[in-house]
Amino acid sequence: MFDLSLLGKAVIEGDNEEVKALTEQAINANVDPLVIINEGLIGGMNIVGQRFKVNDMFVPEVLMSARAMNSGIELVKPLLAGGEMTNKGTVIIGTVKGDLHDIGKSLVAMMLECSGFKVVDLGTDVSPEEFVAGIKDNNGQVVALSALLTTTMLAMKSTIEVLQESGLREKVVVMIGGAPITQDFADQIGADGYAGDAAAAVELVTKLLN
Ligand code: B1M
């Protein structure tokens, strides 16, 4: 049986080659691709986040871990996205204005894509106006806003306000997420839902669109 903690350890060490090799081994051992991602790759990255918080790891190491995690995800992704998929809905996703964190947002985007949604990823530091343009250009049904900073959480509120001013608010479902976000905050700013992680985001979008 494949030991997923080894994969997490390689992510923590930022060891790109080891992550690739272990991911291949996990795939060959028929470990469920979602388990490889959630328990191995993201599991390791979660520990990196905790260690960064207590100054036990620093930015260059965090970035190496993120790069290693992404190398593993790239190998698993084709397995998740494989097969014929219908478009369950179009999601416009981005990290809000002022915020450059994209690891969690990209995971959410990937999980949605792998679950059959069309995902348009606008990237990071996305202004409310860019979200509006993204929805219009792609006929988006869901707007997914990510924020990792307590300061940029407020940009979620202004994005919803600009959606209202543009006459789009009633036409789209707004979901929010990111480490500092709570359901209370989602309620306060008038979002339709909050998800705590990538798997919950898929469940939420599915529920909201139904
Ligand atoms: Co920054 N950073 N960072 N950082 N960083 C945090 C967020 C912080 C908590 C670290 C700390 O001090 N303890 C702190 C925020 C404090 C606060 O506001 N309360 C912080 C800070 C302060 C900063 C800077 C201001 C530091 C500085 O320059 N002084 C600066 C800000 C830059 C900016 O954005 N303008 C900064 C910069 C950076 C880096 C560039 C170095 C790098 C980002 C690299 C990148 O993304 N390309 C970075 C990183 C890596 C982190 C930590 C260590 C890890 C974040 C991460 O990727 N986690 C983070 C500490 C931590 O979180 N413990 C920290 C892994 C990822 C899988 O989890 O992003 O939470 P997460 O995503 C999860 C869920 O939150 C959820 O699903 C994901 C998967 O499970 N989710 C959603 C996320 N978005 C969602 C959207 C949804 C639904 C769910 O629906 C739409």
**Is residue 118 domain-shared with residue 195, that is, in the same domain?**
yes
What's the gap in Å between 150 CA and the centre of ligand 1?
10
Give the residue from 36, 63, 83 where a domain finishes. Answer: 83
Nearest to 173 by CA among 104, 91, 116: 91
What's the gap in Å between 78 CA and the centre of ligand 1?
26
Tokens coding 132:
């509006």
pLDDT of residue 84: 43
**Is residue 122 domain-shared with residue 199, that is, in the same domain?**
yes
**Is residue 53 domain-shared with residue 156, that is, in the same domain?**
no
Domain range for 12 is 4-83
Question: Hey, whose CA ends up nearest to atom 42 of ligand 1?
Answer: 101
pLDDT of residue 130: 98
Which parts of the chain register pLDDT below 50?
83-85
Question: Hey, whose CA ends up nearest to atom 41 of ligand 1?
Answer: 59
Q: How many CB atoms lie within 10 A of CB 65?
A: 28
Residues 167-185 pLDDT 10s: 999 999 999 999 999 999 9
What's the gap in Å between 147 CA and the centre of ligand 1?
8
**Is residue 96 domain-shared with residue 78, that is, in the same domain?**
no
Write the CATH number for 116.
Answer: 3.40.50.280
Tell me the whole-structure pTM to 2 decimals. Answer: 0.83
Of the chain, the end-to-end C-alpha distance in Å amounts to 38
Residues 21-56 pLDDT 10s: 999 999 999 999 888 988 898 888 888 878 887 889
**Is residue 73 domain-shared with residue 105, that is, in the same domain?**
no
Question: Hey, whose CA ends up nearest to atom 14 of ligand 1?
Answer: 149
